Structures are given as structure tokens and as C-alpha cells.
Amino acid sequence: MNCLVVGTGGVGLIAAYTLQRNGKCQVTAVVRSEFEDVKENGYNIDSVDYGKISGWMPDRIVKSVDEASDTFFDFIFLSTKNIPDGEATCEDIVAPAVKPGTCIVLAQNGIDNEKPMMENFPESIILSGVSLIGSTRYGCNVIQNGPDNLSLGYFSHPEIDEQTLLEKAETFIDLYKNDVNTVKYDPQVRLTRWKKLVYNAAINTTTALVNLDCSRVSLCGGKELVQRPAMREIYAIAKSEGFDIPEEVQDIMLNISDGTFYTPSMLVDYRNGRMMELEVILGNPLKIAKQNRVECPVLSMLYALLSMVQFRLKEERGLVHVDDAITRPDASTYGKGFN
Amino acid sequence: MNCLVVGTGGVGLIAAYTLQRNGKCQVTAVVRSEFEDVKENGYNIDSVDYGKISGWMPDRIVKSVDEASDTFFDFIFLSTKNIPDGEATCEDIVAPAVKPGTCIVLAQNGIDNEKPMMENFPESIILSGVSLIGSTRYGCNVIQNGPDNLSLGYFSHPEIDEQTLLEKAETFIDLYKNDVNTVKYDPQVRLTRWKKLVYNAAINTTTALVNLDCSRVSLCGGKELVQRPAMREIYAIAKSEGFDIPEEVQDIMLNISDGTFYTPSMLVDYRNGRMMELEVILGNPLKIAKQNRVECPVLSMLYALLSMVQFRLKEERGLVHVDDAITRPDASTYGKGFN
């Protein structure tokens, strides 16, 4: 079998390494910025699961998904950021490699990510992978600090029966699972995604908006003033769909980063001037809230404010253009307004 | 008579120039960073009210308020930022120059600024000056783009009769008013401050939090999503004290900066890494709201989030210290949390 890994950050590279190590499939990885370095020297991996590996190389590396379109892939493991309002949608990114029968594993944050995938690739089975893993790539070095823990299941498909979907999930689990990592079949992928959103919609968002790590936000009272109220709204939206997020999840999530000065991914993106996964983390839940008439004043406010931050990031990347050339020199300094 | 101007930014310097030009008092100005330059060459003023003036010098310049404590001042015109959670409170700043009979003119943003002044200087009359003026200092250059429009009145005093207070306000108006500027006696200084807060609490705050000028915030829908709801809460708090802010004020304030890409003062402070006037603009109104049981979800959220930003600014200035030395190298990068 053939697997394509798209999104070779900390999560994607441990996935690629794991799939290749297990020896049940050929692994192709899309490597962009560090392509030449990797081609020459491979990756250096320092992993709590697998120890230190020098100069590891995927079976094949390509510079783009397009370059891999000569091959049929049984699975595409997609672990890029999901930023539909950015340079490219995930559907556009994987499109060149999706053929009839290709299964796409969405190892990404957020909710409703599978919907545009299903619309664009109606013949593909879409699996959901929710990864708990502390893994980061710096250039050609990967440091995996937390054990790999993957929950894998399938999204229901209007034209494919549940047994076929289940078998596809089990096939991927068989490729991925080994004696070191923890891979569990997840019968409720949507509930799992709601649970993870308790963290992402409340904690990622707040830290990015104020540019402070988890512990500092907590020192400022952010847990009770902003994050718990935001979490309660995620509970309410999930509930409106029939999902009961267990009560204890909120306190686990609120306290999980205590004392570690942890920098969530959205804050990392913000600090690096990269666009944030705002739509799949806040935009999509709020669409569901609107449909189901769930009041979400806190999440709505965070979304409105972060959309403005996202606008600035877009402008910095040339994705939007504001013509302030004429007015700016005067008005930005002492224009019409109140001090 | 003697006047001391503390806070020689754009507002304070036009005030100093105006008082001296009118010739009814001696003007002393506290000049800090640009002292030597001013001593040598004076200020260059480019004013819509007074034209271009080169090398203007106050009657006396001092490096600190302390240095001016040899003199009795009839009036202290205080136009510094008001940041009680910063390096120094305004009371501490003016204290060396306040003697029995000294009147303090608060030309600052915010509400309840007079309370700590009255507690610290129970013998002083406190006047309120609300200034509408587009004036900025760059080094020794002052550019005044909008005509000077000052509303001046008094804060009631528990032991001084209204007639005496009124006369003091009129005395200062007499020193300040001339044939060019607009100086009005303000019989309702608190209502005037609530009106200005409609702008400051909603527009200054939002722009600073997302680091975008007024026009860009507006492009992102910020007027209706954040600013108007925030304004409505200022209306409600003012109402709980018996003040009816006229309905039209909110639309005037929402639209006053249209098309000018205006950068409100709080955003300017943020961009310069300076602490923000958060307490007098949001903290004090929210204290009143709490006392009077006015629900303010939007302002409370803005306050909570901006307090975190303020915390970061404080930490950058060494006013708070967080000991993250042990945990940081590991945990901020791949600590315990979810991506």
C-alpha cells in the first residue's frame, strides 16, 4: 500500500516515520521548505516513543502534491494547518493526489473539516485522526516530547456503508499501530472533536488574542474570566447537536498546561506572523450555534476580535489590500478622532 | 499667577503656549526627555490656531515636578497619561507642586480620575478639562491639526461651596480663552466625560486589542460586532448614575474617524510598547457598573483581555516578574498542552 503524508510538521513526520517503521506501506512525504536538506541528510528525530534516529528518510520525498500525482495512494495523511481563508484550502492542497479509492485521514484541529472534503471528493472515505502528541519540527530536526496517542475513526458517508467505512479505519489502524504508540479506534469522532475544541476554542484563541502563554493568561485570571465561559459555550453548541461533553473535560483542559508556560499552536502561528486556524476552530462551531440558535456571546466576541487579527495577518501576507496610501501619512498620526 | 503644565505632549504644549500667549500668567512646563533640546532651541509649533512658531520657550522649564516645588502654582494643568497601574500615579506625579490653594486641572481621559486626587489633596479644587484637539508632539515639534476646543468645569467638593468652585473655573477660563480657541464652561463635567468615554471605551480599546486602526476595524465589521455593543454598555452605566448620554453620540463617535485610518491613543501606546490608560477608561466604568449592578458582558470581556495585554506591557517594563526560567526552555515549545 501507498501512503502520502501532506503536512510534514511535528505530527506529520512522526506519522510518516511510524508508518514506514511498521513496514506495511510505502511512505511518500511532501517536503517543501527543507527539501534539499532532507534529500541530502534526512531528518533527525528525538522521540520519547522511538529514541534518537539520525538521518531518517521517507521512502520517497516530493516537493509538491502535484509531483506525487503519478502514484495511487491508498491513504493521504493530512496534517497541515487548516486555513480555508488563507492561501489555499485543504481540498485544493490534496486534490492532485486524490484518485477514486483514495482515503483521506484528517489529522487536523477543528470541526466540520470533513464537509468540504466530502463535497470535493465524493468517492473518498474520510477518516478522522485526533492526535495527542507533543511533537515539533525545527528545520530537519523533530523533537517528540509526548507519546503518540491517536484516536482514529470514520466520518459517515451518504453512499458508503458503515462496514466498509469501519474496515477502512481498521486498515489504517493496522498500518499505524505498533508496540510503542497508542492507537484507538474512535467510534464517536465528532464527540472527540468537540472535546478537543473545548481546549482549542477557549485556550488557543485567548492566548493568541492577547499574545500571552497559558500560564500568564492564567495569572491574569483568564481561566475564569474568559476561558471557562468560552468552554461552556462549546458545551452548549455540542449539546445542541446531541453530544454531551463530559463535565470533567473543562477542568482537565483548563488545568492541563498549569505551570508549563505552554504556547498553544494558534499563539505560535500568531507570533510567527502566520495565519491562524480560526475558521475551523471558531467559525465552524459558531455556524452550528447560529443554526441551532445557541447564544454564544463570548465565542462570538473572540471570533470577531480574532477575525480582525486575522485580517491584519492577511494584509501582511498580501491576501487583502487596503488602499490607505492617500490618507495614511496625515490621518494615522493626527487624523479625525479623539485622543 | 503661576501655571504649571505637567504632561508636555501635544495637548499640554498647546495649553502651555496658549496660557503664555494670553499673557495673564507665568508658565512653567515640566520637560523630561527633550529638556536639553528645548533649553537650547525651544519648540517649533505648527498650529491650525496660531500658525507656525519657531523656537518657542515656556517662561520656565524644569526637568521634574520636584524642581518646580519652590514656586506656588495657582493652577497645575495635568495632561499626562493617567495610568494608576503603571510606574507612578498622577497623584504621586503632581504631589511635590501641590500646596494649599493650588488648583489642579485634569485634562485627561477617563472617569473618576478626580477621586484619588481629592483624597490626596483634600484642600485643592479639581477642575475637569475635556480637550478636543488633534495635536501631537514629535521631539521638539508640535503639530496641531485640529482647533483647540476645551470644555472646562469643576468637580463638586465636600467642603468648598459651588460659588467658589465656579469662580475658580472661570478664573482658569479667563487665563486660557482667547480670540482663536474655543473654551466653554462645562456645567456637567461628568456627563461630558461619559460622552467622551463612548469613544474611548469602545474604539480605543478595540483598536488596541487587535492592533488595527479605526478604518480597518470598521472594514472587519467591528463597529456593529464590538464597538456599538460596547457603547451601549457605557450608556447603561451612565444611565445607572442618572446621566442620559444623547442617542446621537454613538453614531457620531462610531463614524467620526471614517476613512481616515485614525490611530487612537491607546493603539499608539500599544504600538510603542507603552502601558495603556486601561483603568480610567474601562476599569473605573466597570467598578461603577458593578456597584449599580449593570451587566456589561462586552466591556468586561474587553477589560479582561486588555488586562492581559497590559500585563505583558508591564512585564516588558519590569513592573511584574514571572519566573518561567526553569520551565520555559522546554515547555513553551513542546510542553503539556494540545496543539
Q: Which of A86, A128, A120 is nearest to A275 (CA)?
A: A86
Contacts of B269 (CB under 8 A, 6+ apart): B81, B208, B275, B276, B277
A113: Cα within 13 Å, side-chain hemisphere: 32
The b/e string for B203-241 (b: 16+ C-beta within 10 A; e otherwise) is bbbbbbbbbbbbbbbbbbebbebbbbbbbebbbbbbeee
Helix (H) or strand (E) holding A306: helix A297-316
**Which of A199, A226, A262 lies closest to B304 in CB terms?**
A226
Min Cα–Cα distance to chain B from A162, Å: 30
Question: Terminus-to-terminus CA distance in chain B, angstroms?
Answer: 65
Instruction: Test B334 with A256 for CB contact under 8 angstroms.
Output: no
Which residues of A are less than 8 Å from B333 in CB distance? 136, 143, 263
Q: What percentage of chain A's residues is helix, strand, coil (to nearest 5)? A: 45, 15, 35
pLDDT band at A325 (very low <50, low <70, confident <90, very high): low
Structure confidence at residue B325 (pLDDT) = 61
Report CB contact under 8 Å: B203, A337.
yes
Q: How far is A236 from A247, CA to CA, in rounded Å?
A: 12
**Dihedral of CA A210/A212/A215/A221: which sign?**
negative
Q: A337, B143: Cβ pair inside 8 Å?
A: no
Span A125-135, average pLDDT: 91
Please report the pLDDT score of residue B328 as a whole number. 42
Alpha-helical runs (H) found in B25-184: 35-41, 90-94, 114-120, 162-176
Closest CA–CA distance from residue A161 to any residue of chain B (Å): 32
**Average pLDDT estimate for A115-139:** 93
Under 8 Å CB-to-CB from B325, ≥6 apart: which residues?
none
Of the partner residues A135, A196, A336, the one whose CB lies closest to the CB of residue B257: A336
B139-189: per-residue pLDDT in tens? 999 999 889 999 999 999 999 999 999 999 999 999 999 999 999 999 999
A136, B334 in Cβ contact below 8 A? yes
Question: What average pLDDT does this structure show over B28-33?
Answer: 95
What three-state secondary structure class fits B36? helix
A263/B332 touch (CB, cutoff 8 Å), yes or no: yes
Residues of B in contact with A209 (CB under 8 A): 209-210, 305
- Judging contacts by C-beta atoms under 8 Å, the chain A residues touching residue B332 are 213, 260-263
User: CB-hemisphere CA count at 13 Å for B316?
Assistant: 13
Q: Would you state the cell numbers that stand for residue A270, as one nine-digit string?
A: 500568531
Please, which residues have CB within 8 angstroms of residue A129's CB and are 6 or more apart in sequence? A77, A105, A106, A107, A150, A151, A152
pLDDT exceeds cutoff 60 at B306:
yes
Contact B336 A257 (CB under 8 A): yes
Cβ distance A210 to B339 less than 8 Å, yes or no, reads no
**Is A134–B335 a contact, with Cβ atoms under 8 angstroms apart?**
yes
Q: Is A200 helix (H, G, I), strand (E, B) or coil?
A: helix
Q: Kindly give the residue spans of alpha helices, DSSP state H, lying in B89-240.
A: 90-94, 114-120, 162-176, 189-199, 205-210, 214-219, 222, 228-240
d(CA B298, CA A36): 50
pTM: predicted TM-score of the whole model, two decimal places: 0.92
Q: Is the pLDDT of residue A334 over 80?
A: no
Grid cell 498620526 is found at: A333
Residue A329 has what pLDDT?
40
Query: What residue type is assigned to position B306 of the chain?
Result: L
3-state secondary structure (DSSP) of residue B122:
coil
Provide the pLDDT confidence category of residue A323 given band limits of 50, 70 and 90: confident
Residues of A in contact with B135 (CB under 8 A): 334
Position A327 pLDDT exceeds 60: no
Q: How far is CA B96 from CA A215, B11, B19, B58, B206, in A?
A: 40, 22, 22, 20, 36
Inspect the interface and report whether the beta carbons of B337 and A260 lie closer than 8 Å: yes
Instruction: Taking residues A99-126, report their average pLDDT.
Output: 96
Contact check, Cβ <8 Å, A304/B11: no
- Dihedrals phi, psi of A187, to nearest 5 degrees: -75, -10
Whole-number pLDDT of residue A330? 43
| Separation CA B334–CA A262 (nearest Å) | 7
Rounded CA gap, B250 and B246, in Å?
Answer: 8
* Least trusted range by pLDDT, from A71-75, A230-234, A255-259, B43-47: A255-259
Q: Do A217 and B308 touch (CB under 8 A)?
A: yes
Q: Are A12 and A43 in contact (CB under 8 A)?
A: no
Rounded Cα distance, B319 and A131, in Å: 39
d(CA A42, CA B163): 85
Which of A214, A217, A339 to mutate: most B Cβ within 10 Å? A339
The whole-angstrom separation of Cα B315 and Cα B308 is 11
pLDDT for the residue B216: 96
Taking alpha carbons only, the member of B36, B30, B48 closest to residue B181 is B48
Q: How confident is the model at residue A333 (pLDDT cuts 50, 70, 90)?
A: very low
Report pLDDT for B282. 98
Q: Quote the CA–CA distance of A273 and A289 in Å, as a whole number.
A: 29
Contact A308 B212 (CB under 8 A): yes
Looking at the partner chain, which of A225, A261, A305 has a beta carbon nearest the beta carbon of B331? A261
- C-alpha neighbours within 13 Å on the C-beta side of residue B98: 22
Closest Cα of chain B to A158: distance in Å?
31
Whose cell is 497601574? That residue is B85
Distance from CA of A256 to the nearest CA of B (A): 6
Enumerate residues 6+ apart whose C-beta is below 8 A from B6.
B12, B30, B65, B76, B77, B78, B79, B80, B93, B94, B97
DSSP 3-state of A142: strand
Q: Check residue B330 and give its pLDDT.
A: 43
pLDDT over 60 (residue A55): yes
Which residue of A lies nearest to B298 if distances are taken between CA atoms? Answer: A301
B215, B308, B339: residue with CB nearest A212: B308
Best B149, B301, B308, B324 member to test A by mutation, with max A CBs in 10 Å, is B308
How big, in percent rounded to 5, are the helix, strand and coil portions of chain B?
A: 45, 15, 35
Is B229 a residue whose pLDDT tops 90? yes
What pLDDT sits at residue A134?
80
Among A211, A228, A261, the strongest candidate for a mutation testing the B interface, having the largest count of B CBs within 10 A, is A261
DSSP letter for each residue of B161-181: -HHHHHHHHHHHHHHH--SSS
Interchain proximity B215–A143, CB inside 8 Å = no
The confidence score (pLDDT) of residue B333 equals 40
Interchain pair B324, A261: CB under 8 A:
yes
> Could B261 and A222 be called an inter-chain contact, meaning their C-beta atoms sit closer than 8 Å?
no
Report the residue of chain A nearest B258, measured CA to CA: A336
